[in-house]
Amino acid sequence: MCECELKKNPKRTKLQLLLGHLSLLSDTMRSGKCSRIIAGVLYPLVILSIICNVVLLFPGWDVKYAKEGHLTDEVKYMGGIVGGLLVLISALFIHLTGKQGCCGNRFGMLFSVVIAAVGAAGAVYCFIVALLGLGNGPLCKVHGTWTTPFKNRKDNYLTDYKSWETCTEPKNVVLFNIGLFGTLAAVNCLQVLLCAIQIINGLVGCLCGTGTEKA
């Protein structure tokens, strides 16, 4: 289609064609509506991220380990909470750009690109912390001593189920650690993807409008 238009209108630049396609895309998908959808999906992901981080503070479902300071460094980094709050701030503003008002305009869409980048940075931070938590393994008691037995191991402890028995306390802490950090990693992958989509959506909305009709 582009080649035909260029032949018929040789003076028409590729930039003009690109803007035309972006305008069509904006009319079809409605940048404002897309923003509301993205924000709507981010909200439950943020809640899940924060819940996972809070639960990690209580290995073995017991508060005594947190009181005694027997938590891994990755839990103390609060990736799910810090990253979650940054994504939440982004989601709130992204939601506003999808409504009529002060933010539902081209400038709001442009600013949402910056805000979405901040949210993506928070999600990346949490993702990295989650990977470190998975890689280093939990802090647990081995032969009466608190240590991180799986840290710096050359082999992969994640599939070596028998090695999990070396952790005698807290109960089932290895599975606890893997489940929650694995969930955090997956959730934040989705958050990064959604923030990246909003960056593109924000640029389209800035160039072609939000598609939100005034009442």
Mean pLDDT of the region 97-118: 75
pTM equals 0.80
| 18 occurs within a structural domain | no
Distance CA 184, CA 53 (A): 8
Total domains, the chain? 1
For residue 207, give both structure tokens. 């160039």
| 161 occurs within a structural domain | no
The per-residue pLDDT for 3 is 52
The per-residue pLDDT for 4 is 52
The per-residue pLDDT for 43 is 95
**8 A C-beta contact, residue 5 and residue 12:** yes
User: Counting beta carbons within 10 angstroms of the beta carbon of residue 181, is it exposed (0 to 12), middle (13 to 18) or buried (19 or more)?
Assistant: buried
| 92 occurs within a structural domain | yes
| 152 occurs within a structural domain | no
Of 49 and 8, more confident: 49
Residues of the chain with pLDDT > 90, as a percent, come to 53
Residue 62: which domain range?
32-136+179-208
The per-residue pLDDT for 27 is 47
Q: What are the angstrom distances between the C-alpha of 208 and each of 22, 104, 215?
A: 7, 13, 19
| 42 occurs within a structural domain | yes
The model's pLDDT over 176-203, given as tens digits with 9 standing for 90+, comes to 999 999 999 999 999 999 999 988 888 8
Confidence of residue 204 (pLDDT cuts 50, 70, 90): confident
pLDDT at 144 over 70: yes
pLDDT at 12 over 60: no
Confidence of residue 28 (pLDDT cuts 50, 70, 90): very low
| 197 occurs within a structural domain | yes
Confidence of residue 6 (pLDDT cuts 50, 70, 90): very low
| 170 occurs within a structural domain | no
